[in-house]
Structure 1
Amino acid sequence: MLEGSIPAELGNCTKLQALDLGSNHLTGVIPEQVIGISSLTLCLYLDLNEFTGSLPSQVGNLKNLGVLSISGNKLTGELSSALGDCQVLEYLDLHGNILDGAIPSSLDQLKGIQQLDLSQNNLSGQIPEFLGKLPLMRLNLSHNMFEGEVPKVGIFNNISAFSVVGKNMKLCGRIQPLHLRACPINFSKKNKRPFPDKMIPLLIILPIVLLLACLFFIFYQLKKSQQRTSPTSLSENQYPKITYAELLHATNEFSPSNLIGDGRYGSVYKGSLNSGEHIVAVKVLKLQEHGANKSFMAECDVLRILCHMNLIKIITSCSSLDFKGKDFKALVFEFMPNGTREQGSNLTLVQRLSIAIDVASALDYIHHHCEMTICHCDLKPSNVLLDDDLCAHVGDFGLARFMSANTNLSNNAHFKYGMGEEVSTEADMYSYGIMLLEMFTGKRPTDNMFIDNFSLHNYVKFALPDRVMEIVDSTIVLEEVEGLNRNRGGEGEFAKLKSCLESILRLGVICSAELPHERMDSKNVVKELHRITKAYNE
């Protein structure tokens, strides 16, 4: 809930690689010193604020930036032609502003762009045909004032990959699913005579040449797209290369003594790179397990676009052969010295609250602030890792799914969350609610006491509000009560403790409700947890 303007002095952070100021109440113009920090390579999020003015031309300094989102503000003026200088840009989101004018021709230089969202502005003119020649996977131009014929090349041949709905009433074309009006044919009044005889051969040959050119272009684009979007590894430009031999050496030949985690699709080893200077976690895929390769590809696809402090940081990947000639795939992550939330115990109330906020913030990011909504699909304590400062990082995106309006993901994965069986953001919130209850009661949902229809959810629900202190983790109560005694806290402080725990458990019950529509959204969970924390610390 930050307010005011961005200080220009932030531009002095000349080694900054990622900056996220999204979802605040920041106002004023975007300082040219900040938009022009050339060291930014991962992401710049200024979305969902109240910025005004035009987009500074210094945006062209972001030559190596991968993700830029300034959606949901009040930016005016034309799209800066300097955006064309951001040639490494893969994701650009400027929807929900008041931008006008035409799409600048310089945007044809965005050779790496995969997702472009310019919807909900006042952009006008014709939709440039060069957009169809870019390697776009998603394009949203809806709710603007474009006119003329919709191009028929590239992404415009995939009706599920682009959108021009809304105020674009003057668009025309023969793309049947869009139900556009036919474009008018303008006959010249001055030339009503038939074509001269010498033009006939040209009129016959020209379409053939154009057809051959189009076929060559489509073949080239398909081949280029396959090379670009191959999910077998992460981008070589953004992530350093690493070999099987290096990982073998780093993990002491994948020694059991280095094993720190084991799951269905992969084993995680502690490793040491650069002669011990860099400690990492190496996730080696169990490729003999059915679905492991798909899990690897899904995780690469998701991790490529993620940038958030509460998500596990990917360092690189390896897709190669081992010394026996067998396929080998691994992901290398930043090492988390405090292990998983499942391993962590004897945490204080404040520490658990902080972890709960971290995980909710991570869900809020993947649900609402990515270019495409992402569902984690496997949120549990063992996939929440803690760093030196007990800051939580959500990991393991092997089962993650992209959500879109045109995709029914219930056919791609089968999980059961309460009464719903479809993969959705509500399903993630169910998992989060159960994890919240587990974190503050100390009881696992698989505990022997939970049989038939008696679950962890019902166990807590039936105890609220009178028996809160009976069901919470006893280590929390003992530590907090001892603290109250040391500080001579009275009944008022104890009542505050009880109220805090009651609010947390009630939140967990709401998030794990059987009906998906009854669960709280991740954005509101973050706000509620901040409110609970503030009330307890006052």
Structure 2
Amino acid sequence: MEFVVESNHLSGMIPSTIYNISSIYNFSVAENQLHGELPRNLGTMLPNLVRLLCGMNKFRGNIPISLSNASKLLKLDLSQNGFTGTIPGESFGSLRRLFWLNVESNQLGNRKVGDLNFLSFLANCTSLEVLGLGDNNFGGGIPGSVANFSTQLKVLSMGGNVIYGSLPNDIGNLINLTILTLDRNHLGGIVPHEIGKLEKLEQLYLEGNKFSGLIPSSLGNMTSLLNLYMESNRFEGSIPPSLGNYRNILFLNLSSNNLTGTIPKMLMELSTLSISLDLSNNYLTGPLPLEVGDLVHLTEINVLRNNLSGEIPSTIGSCASLERLYLQGNKFEGTIPQSLKYLKGLEKLDISSNNLSGQIPEFIGKLGALRYLNLSYNDFEGELPKEGIFANVSRVSVLGNHRLCGGIPQLHLPPCPLKKHHSSQGLHSPKVVIPISCVLGIIIALSCFFGVCSMLKKSRDRLATSRSYKDWKLGVSYSQLVESTNGFLVDNLIGSGSFGSVYKGVIPSDGTIVAVKVFNLQQQGASKSFMDECKVLRSIRHRNLLKIITACSSIDNQGKDFKSLVFEFMANGSLDSMLYPMEEKQSLSKRLSFMQRLNIAIDVASALDYLHHHCEMAIVHCDLKPSNVLLDEDMVAHVGDFGLARFLFETSNDPSFSQTMSSQLKGSIGYIPPEYGTGGQVSILGDVYSYGILLLEMFTGKRPIDDMFKGNLSIYQFVAIALPDHVMDVVDHSIILDLEADGDVNNYIVREQTPSKRNNGGPMKEKKLKECLILVMQIGLSCCAMSPSERMLMDVVVRKMSTIRDLYLKV
């Protein structure tokens, strides 16, 4: 029997009669407001317990010693409560098949420090796979018996305590560990070389301790590592080149240590490094290696406050996915490289406190995604641009550059001196003018002659070779794509993704604008992504899905494989660019009204409903986010980028049916459902989670990875805390501004509504807007619930969101 009442806002105490039902094997009351103590004889009363989940409540008292009688217990979660006392020791010795012990965030011993020696009994738990003891007040040292745990142990979590001492040398005996977290303790000494035996390790968290000595080169043996966090310790010496052995690394953080020497070139060749490389706050010297250009998928490079020198390498312009670049507090010199203009997605650039000089290039103001720029305390000179980010004094800093002039008045720079116009009287003399005029006349005549000949030739060639939009649908060659994009010119670059770049193209014969997605076949998985996307797009057709025109699989001019997809061009770009317009001029023209957001949300939900429930085989998108939602000239949303999409071949009556996923995470940080991060399964409910995050983001105007979301605060909690009374405090401020300007009524034509149903009766009442916002936010929270089984299916979302739109239009 199961007793499951998770996430129901229940309060009070659990009736004692519940504990008398001895057949209960799944006891789950997590995420409520329940209080009281667990019965001392709980393990005797419920001997068949397999799962005991009481996390995120207000329970207090001791952990019942009688749980030792529940010999079938696989999962125990008592996290985030008020339990006191010490954790029972040998009383747990009979739980020989314990699967998960989690006692995080409790108040053991009334905040008194406990002792880890009780861990010794766990050596008898031969089936133990996951042990979580993080965020408590355990003290003492890690007993050597930990190294004698079952070799089946996969997760060992003891972060966030007050553990001191050193790491046992025999830690390498736990050969099946995939996650080891010891962060935020008082551990010291060296990290033993034997740790390199943990070759299956995927996540290693050692940050926030007092480890010293060299970083062991044996860490390079962990070739499956995804996350490596070693910041805020006392490590010294150089960075081991062996760290360049990682095949799947996403995060690498060695910041805030005492590291010296140069940055190994091998570290710049980690092709999978796609999220963050943080080497800041050390004593590294030498240049930033030219090989940094190989990190084409990396979103953040942070080397601030070191002793790096030389010029900023021009190769950094090849880092097409870069969003944050922190180089401040070093000794870089020279000018800002022109190649930075290729970083179309760059959001934050800080090169302050260096020895840089020369003029500030105007292209920086044309980086549309840039929202923070710090050029302070260098030796820049000349006139400061006024366009783009330079027009927003709150987003740019140029302090300490005493030779700059001009710019917007709010920056208080001195005016630039007037340019002197030298006399040109000598050039106007007849002896000069007449010969020059004759030469120019001859040149113009010859140019016209050859121009006419060229136009006639091109006209003949076009009649013979050009193909219309209709013809392109039958297939297109590499040379035709080159012609349509002006040789894949950087100025035509629309954006970059995990496996390639998208260019704006024009069909020469009829001027039709298209989007050309070119796959970077050097990136592992790009070719498979091309095949997967072709396979998915061939099977689907819906008004809210990005329509493919054709595909090209050919050879380029250098004899290399070339693969590309051609799509309909979306005139209004991505939802991401609409939600976060960077230039002040755009902020008004691109402001999304409440009604527009509502319609876009319904469009996206309709697309997912079609993929999940109306295709021959259900399709999971796997990467839903604002940049993958594109808007046409009528502001109709189209979901695109199916490079990670998966068919679900398994037939089942369960609406949440799923299939096993690969070991790597599917999706983008902030939108990935939590079950994927723990080796879960690809499921349509994973898409529902991503949609829920997207929905909250659309109406709050805050990214799920916003700087404000740290520690225990997420976008989910940010909204949940505000509902229902304070919803207007978390809503995107531009929605309120639009309401005040009556934008919803006068500036927007409601799609899919008859004239009689259009709202033309004056400004929308705040009460009605607040009511609709609460309903929308509640749907978002339901969709991104932690437990997949609690999420709302997309066909239900479409109906509920459409009802909200109807309610809004009745005012």
**TM-score normalized by structure 2?**
0.36
Is 1:380 aligned with 2:636?
A: no
Aligned partner of 2:599 in structure 1 is: 354
Deviation of residue 275 (structure 1)?
A: 3.0
Aligned partner of 2:687 in structure 1 is: 428
Residues 367 and 374 in structure 1, CA contact (< 8 A), matched pair in contact too: yes
Deviation of residue 515 (structure 1)?
A: 0.6
Q: Structure 1 pair 523/260, CA: closer, same or farther in 2 (3 Å)?
A: same
Q: Write the distance in 1 (CA, Å) between the matches of 2:513 and 2:693.
A: 32
Partner secondary structure for residue 501 of structure 1: helix
Aligned partner of 2:766 in structure 1 is: 494
In the TM superposition, 1:445-456 aligns within 5 A as 445-456=704-715
In the TM superposition, 1:52-67 aligns within 5 A as none
Q: Structure 1 pair 294/302, CA: closer, same or farther in 2 (3 Å)?
A: same
Deviation of residue 277 (structure 1)?
A: 2.1
Q: Write the distance in 2 (CA, Å) between the matches of 1:282 and 1:237.
A: 16
Is 1:315 aligned with 2:571?
A: no
The structure 2 residue matched to 1:438, chosen from 697, 707, 718, is: 697
Is 1:465 aligned with 2:724?
A: yes
Aligned residues: CA RMSD: 2.3
Q: Structure 1 pair 485/303, CA: closer, same or farther in 2 (3 Å)?
A: closer
Deviation of residue 280 (structure 1)?
A: 0.3
Aligned partner of 2:570 in structure 1 is: 336
Aligned partner of 2:511 in structure 1 is: 277
Residues 544 and 606 in structure 2, CA contact (< 8 A), matched pair in contact too: yes
Partner secondary structure for residue 398 of structure 1: coil
Q: Deviations over 1:426-453 (max 9, x none)?
A: 0001000001111000000010111122
Deviation of residue 482 (structure 1)?
A: 3.2
Aligned partner of 1:524 in structure 2 is: 796
Q: Write the distance in 1 (CA, Å) between the matches of 2:745 and 2:546.
A: 39
Q: Write the distance in 2 (CA, Å) between the matches of 1:446 and 1:493.
A: 32
Structure 1 unaligned spans of 5+ = 1-235
Is 1:537 aligned with 2:809?
A: yes
Q: Deviations over 1:67-86 (max 9, x none)?
A: xxxxxxxxxxxxxxxxxxxx
The structure 1 residue matched to 2:665, chosen from 404, 407, 414, is: 414
Is 1:508 aligned with 2:780?
A: yes
The structure 1 residue matched to 2:738, chosen from 467, 479, 502, is: 479
Amino acid at match of 2:774: E
Amino acid at match of 2:568: E
Deviation of residue 239 (structure 1)?
A: 4.2
In the TM superposition, 1:97-176 aligns within 5 A as none
Deviation of residue 414 (structure 1)?
A: 3.0
Amino acid at match of 1:266: G
Deviation of residue 528 (structure 1)?
A: 0.4
Residues 472 and 549 in structure 2, CA contact (< 8 A), matched pair in contact too: no
Q: Write the distance in 2 (CA, Å) between the matches of 1:380 and 1:238.
A: 29
Aligned partner of 2:560 in structure 1 is: 326
Aligned partner of 2:218 in structure 1 is: none
Q: Deviations over 1:338-385 (max 9, x none)?
A: 000001141111111000000000000000000000000000000000
Aligned partner of 2:223 in structure 1 is: none
Query: Highest CA radius of gyration, 1 or 2?
Result: 2
The structure 1 residue matched to 2:484, chosen from 250, 255, 260, is: 250
Is 1:389 aligned with 2:640?
A: no
Amino acid at match of 1:477: I
Partner secondary structure for residue 488 of structure 2: coil
Aligned partner of 2:616 in structure 1 is: 371
Q: Write the distance in 2 (CA, Å) between the matches of 1:376 and 1:413.
A: 16
Amino acid at match of 2:696: L
Amino acid at match of 2:596: Q
Residues 418 and 512 in structure 1, CA contact (< 8 A), matched pair in contact too: no
Amino acid at match of 1:465: P
Q: Write the distance in 2 (CA, Å) between the matches of 1:488 and 1:278.
A: 40
Residues 413 and 423 in structure 1, CA contact (< 8 A), matched pair in contact too: no
Deviation of residue 412 (structure 1)?
A: 6.9
Deviation of residue 488 (structure 1)?
A: 8.8
Deviation of residue 389 (structure 1)?
A: 0.2
Residues 414 and 422 in structure 1, CA contact (< 8 A), matched pair in contact too: no
Q: How many residues align?
A: 302
Q: Write the distance in 1 (CA, Å) between the matches of 2:636 and 2:604.
A: 9
Is 1:402 aligned with 2:616?
A: no
Deviation of residue 240 (structure 1)?
A: 1.1
Q: Write the distance in 1 (CA, Å) between the matches of 2:659 and 2:702.
A: 34
Structure having greater relative contact order (Cα 8 Å, sep ≥ 6): 1
Deviation of residue 408 (structure 1)?
A: 2.8
Q: Write the distance in 2 (CA, Å) between the matches of 1:398 and 1:469.
A: 37
Q: Write the distance in 1 (CA, Å) between the matches of 2:686 and 2:770.
A: 29
Q: Write the distance in 1 (CA, Å) between the matches of 2:761 and 2:689.
A: 39
Structure 2 unaligned spans of 5+ = 1-469, 580-590, 652-657, 667-671, 747-759
Q: Deviations over 1:244-276 (max 9, x none)?
A: 000001000000000001112010000011335
Q: Structure 1 pair 430/332, CA: closer, same or farther in 2 (3 Å)?
A: same
Deviation of residue 534 (structure 1)?
A: 0.5
Residues 673 and 686 in structure 2, CA contact (< 8 A), matched pair in contact too: yes
Q: Deviations over 1:11-49 (max 9, x none)?
A: xxxxxxxxxxxxxxxxxxxxxxxxxxxxxxxxxxxxxxx
Aligned partner of 1:288 in structure 2 is: 522
Amino acid at match of 2:727: V
Residues 401 and 409 in structure 1, CA contact (< 8 A), matched pair in contact too: no
Amino acid at match of 2:674: G
Q: Structure 1 pair 363/385, CA: closer, same or farther in 2 (3 Å)?
A: same
Partner secondary structure for residue 496 of structure 1: helix
Residues 436 and 508 in structure 1, CA contact (< 8 A), matched pair in contact too: yes
Q: Write the distance in 2 (CA, Å) between the matches of 1:338 and 1:321.
A: 32
Q: Structure 1 pair 474/292, CA: closer, same or farther in 2 (3 Å)?
A: same
Partner secondary structure for residue 665 of structure 2: coil
Q: Structure 1 pair 370/524, CA: closer, same or farther in 2 (3 Å)?
A: same
Q: Deviations over 1:282-326 (max 9, x none)?
A: 000000001100100100000001110000000000000001100
Q: Write the distance in 2 (CA, Å) between the matches of 1:418 and 1:447.
A: 18
Aligned partner of 1:297 in structure 2 is: 531
Amino acid at match of 1:507: I
Residues 659 and 683 in structure 2, CA contact (< 8 A), matched pair in contact too: no
Residues 308 and 365 in structure 1, CA contact (< 8 A), matched pair in contact too: yes
Amino acid at match of 1:409: T
Partner secondary structure for residue 423 of structure 1: strand
Deviation of residue 506 (structure 1)?
A: 1.1
Aligned partner of 1:144 in structure 2 is: none
Amino acid at match of 1:410: M
Q: Write the distance in 2 (CA, Å) between the matches of 1:350 and 1:388.
A: 16
Q: Write the distance in 1 (CA, Å) between the matches of 2:761 and 2:481.
A: 55
Q: Write the distance in 2 (CA, Å) between the matches of 1:523 and 1:477.
A: 30
Q: Structure 1 pair 322/488, CA: closer, same or farther in 2 (3 Å)?
A: closer
Q: Write the distance in 2 (CA, Å) between the matches of 1:489 and 1:254.
A: 48
Q: Deviations over 1:215-237 (max 9, x none)?
A: xxxxxxxxxxxxxxxxxxxxx99
**TM-score normalized by structure 1?**
0.54
Aligned partner of 2:131 in structure 1 is: none
Amino acid at match of 2:495: G
Q: Write the distance in 1 (CA, Å) between the matches of 2:623 and 2:761.
A: 43
Deviates more, 1:375-384 or 1:505-514: 505-514
Amino acid at match of 2:661: S
Partner secondary structure for residue 364 of structure 1: helix
